[in-house]
Amino acid sequence: MKRLFSTFLLVALATAAAVAQTATASQVIEYKVFSVEAGVNAGYIVGANTMAAGTSFGLNFVVADNMSVGVQTTNIGTGFNMFKLSYYLNPSIGFSAHIGTTAGPVTAAGMGAFINMARNNPSSGLANAYKIKIDYLFKTSDITTGTLAVAMAMSLGI
C-alpha cells in the first residue's frame, strides 16, 4: 500500500510540476519578504480513529522567487511545531514539506499542498492571500498513525 501511495504521489507531483511551470517567477509568490499566516483546522487523527479541530500559525520568509521557508505550529491532536519549506508551482498551487517535533518531544515530519483561493499582491504595501491547505503530519517513528489536517488560512505579508 505504501509503495502504491508513493508511486501515485510521485506521478501526481511530476504531472503538476510539468503543467504548472507556465508563470513567470516574479508573479508566483504572493509576498516579497515575509508573511504571517493563521488558520483554522479540521482533521482526522489516524492512530486514534477520531476527528479533531484546532488552529495553525506560521511565519514564512521568501528565499527564492517561488520558494519560502518558515516555522509553523499546528494545534490539532497532540500539536506539531515544525520548520516548513514551501514551493509554489504557480500563483495558485504549491506544496510544502515539514520537519519538527510533536508532544514528547518526538521527531515529526509532514507533507502538504495548498491552493490560493484569493490573493492581493500590490506592487508596494501589504499583500494577503486566502488558502486552503491539506497537510499530513506524523511522528517519524510511525508514518501510518499521523494527522490529516485541512485548514482555511489567511496570510498577510510584505
- The domain that holds 90 is classified in CATH as 2.40.160
Question: Which of 114, 110, 113, 112 minimizes the C-alpha distance to 146?
Answer: 110
Give me the pLDDT at residue 3, please.
56
Local structure of 14: helix, strand or coil:
helix
What is the number of structural domains in the chain? 1
The DSSP code sequence of 111-150 is EEEEEEEEEE--SSS-EEEEEEEEEEEEETTEEEEEEEEE
pLDDT digits (tens, 9 = 90+) for 44-103: 999 889 999 999 999 999 998 899 999 999 998 888 999 999 999 988 899 999 999 998
What digits encode the pLDDT tens for the residues 103-153?
Answer: 878 999 999 999 999 888 777 778 889 999 999 999 999 888 899 999 999
Across the strands, what pairs with 110? 98, 137
Write out the residue range of the structural domain in which residue 59 sits: 2-157
What is the pTM (predicted TM-score) of this model?
A: 0.79
Phi, psi torsion values for 72, nearest 5 degrees? -145, 140
Q: In 3D, which of 28, 36, 31, 92 has the Cα closest to residue 66? A: 28
Report angle CA 88, 91, 93 to the nearest 5 degrees: 55
Predicted local distance difference test score (pLDDT) of residue 103? 83
